[in-house]
Amino acid sequence: MRLDSTVVALTSCPEYARQPLADSIELVVAALDQVANLHSCSVLLKPNLITARYGSLPCTEPAFMLAVARWLVDQGARVTIGDSPALGTATAALHTLGIAGELAALGVRITDFNRARNVSLAGGGKAGVAVHALECDLLVNLPRVKAHAQTRLTLAVKNCFGCLVGLRKPWWHMAYGGKNGSFSDRLVQLLDVLTESITLVDGITAMHETGPIHGSPYPLHLLAASSNPVAMDCALLQVLDVDSKESPLMQACLAAGHSGAEFSQLNFPLATPVKFQVSDFQVPDALIPIRFNLFRFFKSTVKRVLMSR
């Protein structure tokens, strides 16, 4: 994953209608000037499919996923879409969201991240990462802007957590999420092992107050792109008027010395964050522990296994 870029392209997008989405995607990707010829390239779309049980708001918006998929297919790319949801599978989530058929009609393959490869992290230890996220030519990260009860916000960096396969995700919560745990540091280290990527952020309708599931819709009307998820998150913190000191993941990015973790480093070929800055986007004041209690861990594990079957 390219972590040296400091370019973030921001544009307004008022709705999820097909043409405004297509125009906005074309604009921000062209502004990056970093995406090579995609003809015949293997591309993995990585949306947030945490659960479709409560409607589309907890997930990347279905219309947004379809718009990005169409754009990539038009470029001649071979497109796959996948995730490792908290509950169930990517296939089930996309069917519930009503777009599995449309994706298939576009020639987009759905993967449930059943195959993992253990890769070494810079801080020590290994991570079981989806093979598709390691072997594709381009990983297209598709987070939705959301508040988060454990990390205050879930943006581009946090969405990469879904590249871990299956029960490895709740296990990371248990193993590294204690009071003095290294959860944020390890998640940031995960970026180093992922393939070349771009992030396209669904900030048209965001989720605020709480999250990542039970928050409220917030009309942010923003679409953004960057090849560096760290730079993307730094820019979005400015848009949302959240101090970087309040973001555990951004603090981990700063500690790791990643480019784009400081706002003064960023470059904006289109609009600057001040054009989109809001003052009433609500995030949790107090964060709940990342580490699950044992009862919740076992309950989640059993539920995940049953839903996957």
pLDDT single digits (tens) 213-239: 999 999 999 999 999 999 999 999 999
Count CB atoms within 10 A of the CB of residue 218. 21
φ and ψ at 133, to 5 degrees?
A: -75, -15
pLDDT bin (cut points 50, 70, 90) of residue 87 is confident
Higher pLDDT, 216 or 180: 216
- pLDDT at residue 293 tops 70: no
Tokens of 13: 């997008």
- pLDDT at residue 146 tops 90: yes
Q: Quote the pTM value.
A: 0.94
Of 45-54, 248-257, 264-273, 283-292, least confident by mean pLDDT is 283-292
Please give the pLDDT value at position 180.
79
φ and ψ at 69, to 5 degrees?
A: -60, -45
At 19, the amino acid letter reads Q
Residue holding tokens 């589309």?
56
Angle at 125 between CA 120 and CA 128, to 5 degrees: 60
* Burial annotation 167-179 (CB, 10 A radius, 16+ → b, else e): bbbbbbbbebbee
Strand blocks (E) in 209-307: 216-226
What domains can be seen in the chain, in order of their start residue? 9-282 (3.40.50.11440)
Sequence-distant contacts of 295-303: CB under 8 A, at least 24 apart: 297/170, 297/173, 297/174, 300/86, 300/170, 301/167, 301/170, 303/87
- H/E run at residue 166: none
Rounded CA separation 161/287 (Å) = 18
Are 3 and 252 spatial neighbours (Cβ–Cβ below 8 Å)? Answer: no
